[in-house]
Amino acid sequence: MKMTIAEIAQAINADTSLLSEDNLNKEITSVDFDSRNIQQDGLFIPLKGEKDGHNYIESAAANGAGATLFAKDHQDQLPVAIPALLVDDPLKSFQELSKYYLQKINPRVIAVTGSNGKTTTKDMAASIMSAGFNVVKTHDNFNNEIGVPYTLLQMESNTEFLVVELGMDRPMQLDFLSKLVEPDVAIITMIGEAHIEFFKTRDKIADAKMEITHGLKEDGIFIYDGDEPLLQERARDLSFTKMTFGRNENNDAYSTSVDVEKYETKFKTNLWPDQEMTIPLIGDYNVNNALAAILVGKIFRIHEQLICKQLANVELTKNRTEWLKGKLGESILSDVYNSNPTAALEVLRTFNGTQVDGRRIIVLGDMLELGEQSLKMHASLAREISVDKDDQVYLIGSDINALADTLEPEYDSTRLHVYPKEKLAELANDLAVDMQPNDTVLLKASHGIHLEQVVAKLID
């Protein structure tokens, strides 16, 4: 990002009455809303949340900020250290600036959402497109009203493709984000139970996910899970070009064979029947994510061999189904960024099909935002946990007790370990003491449980 303060002010209709000619001609080279991370000559965005970002403007200036947005209703706090652009709402102006910059750079935009798999699909699509183009993708989980504008403003002037992840936890959120980025390609990976506490039914989740098409360009392409009736029904009347992926042969892209190994998955598709493809992920559910990304590659004419190469070497966002090695040599399958019943059942099924040398250990935490159905959904995980296969089970949280109650007839207290959420450190210590070099352990929970701290204890 490179813009003068004058250009930024014009883009967001900011009041520049306090700025000199020299201020207006100053070049801004980056943007951030965290004063600790601001770069030299960066634009600081003082957002209002639990803390008011206006209180950190002086800190941002000390760390090199070249200018700041500033809410007009905070003028009694006006800084003197750096130029201030007066606006009604810094967040709205931040979003307007990102929209302006997106239109200025004008890349092709691929937008991805879904109850599960959106981050993995984003990573795969970005990897495939980078075989032939300059690509920027969403960093980590920057997928909301703050994260998406931040992603847009990270683009360099030579960016040709933007692969952006769009998240949601309420109606009309995707409507806003889709209209912000105006995708050329919109992808829905799947409809699950994530956020069902707020939406109540999968039908309403599907309605909300379909909002990703609201900003889709007129000549855009909609890619979705063709095996999902809720999406089939909603896509039927759309005038966009549509492409589907899945397991059934009526899809545009479907798998013809899947071989799940311990550290990777090999598969073939109808698109290139003789070509075996490899992804560095386990689980046949990740083949669907790969198929969605492959369709993106085909749309933009990436060669088959390059698609294969890029999938095999994809750089994946951390904490999403990654194999790690513990300090004793144990194998750790870490999937601790988020969890919902569909995702948890899939990874449990895959984990129990994995060949192990020693014990198989499961560590599960609460799946959040499941509402009235939470206890039932936690208990349902028992169908993928077997006393014959899974030697030890560690559970942490509150609603996870429903799973503990279901497992108790099969597991005695030496094999089933249950902890309240506030006892995370105790779980980590107990697990570390129990661990043996040949063990294989799965960790899965919603991010709010913070199982990444347990992973850190095992590998540090």
**Domain of residue 305, CATH code:** 3.40.1190.10
313 is in an annotated binding site: no
Other Cβ atoms within 10 Å of 108 Cβ, number = 18
The whole-number pLDDT of residue 195 equals: 66
The whole-number pLDDT of residue 322 equals: 87
246 is in an annotated binding site: no
120 is in an annotated binding site: yes
Region for 296 from its dihedrals, namely left if φ exceeds 0, alpha if ψ lies in -120 to 50, beta otherwise: alpha
- Mean pLDDT throughout 212-228? 98
Last-in-domain residue among 87, 115, 139? 87
Q: What is the pTM of this model?
A: 0.91
The predicted-structure confidence for 243-300, as pLDDT tens digits, reads as follows 999 999 999 999 999 999 888 999 999 999 999 999 999 888 999 999 999 999 999 9
Instruction: With respect to residue 100, please indicate whether it lies within any of the assigned structural domains.
Output: no
Strand partners, 325: 331
Asked if the model's pLDDT at residue 79 lies above 80, the reply is: no
At 197, is the pLDDT very low, low, confident or very high (cuts 50, 70, 90)? Answer: low
Asked if the model's pLDDT at residue 144 lies above 90, the reply is: yes
- Spatial neighbors of 284 by CB under 8 A, at least 6 apart, are 255, 258, 260, 265, 267, 350
Region for 356 from its dihedrals, namely left if φ exceeds 0, alpha if ψ lies in -120 to 50, beta otherwise: beta
- Mean pLDDT throughout 148-166? 97
Asked if the model's pLDDT at residue 206 lies above 80, the reply is: yes
The residue type at 121? T
115 is in an annotated binding site: yes
Q: Answer yes or no: are the C-beta atoms of 14 and 85 closer than 8 Å.
A: yes
Instruction: With respect to residue 92, please indicate whether it lies within any of the assigned structural domains.
Output: no
Last-in-domain residue among 269, 292, 312? 312
Instruction: Report the greatest alpha carbon distance in the chain.
Output: 77
For residues 326 and 279, membership in a common domain is answered with no
For residues 430 and 336, membership in a common domain is answered with yes
Instruction: With respect to residue 94, please indicate whether it lies within any of the assigned structural domains.
Output: no
Among 88-97, 101-110, 239-248, 278-287, the minimum mean pLDDT is found in 278-287
For the chain, give the mean pLDDT: 95
Instruction: Give the percent of the chain with pLDDT over 70.
Output: 98
389 is in an annotated binding site: no
Structural domain containing residue 127? 106-312
For residues 39 and 69, membership in a common domain is answered with yes
Number of domains in the chain: 3
At 189, is the pLDDT very low, low, confident or very high (cuts 50, 70, 90)? Answer: very high
The whole-number pLDDT of residue 338 equals: 86
CATH number of the domain where residue 37 is located: 3.40.1390.10
Instruction: With respect to residue 354, please indicate whether it lies within any of the assigned structural domains.
Output: yes
Nearest to 457 by CA among 285, 324, 361: 324
For residues 426 and 364, membership in a common domain is answered with yes
Give the residue, 319 or 86, on which the prediction is more confident: 86
Nearest to 364 by CA among 392, 324, 326: 392
114 is in an annotated binding site: yes
The residue type at 65? A
CATH number of the domain where residue 367 is located: 3.90.190.20
How much helix, strand and coil, in percent to the nearest 5, is found in the chain?
40, 20, 40
Asked if the model's pLDDT at residue 142 lies above 70, the reply is: yes
Q: Tell me which residue has tokens 């290139």.
A: 272
Last-in-domain residue among 263, 279, 312? 312
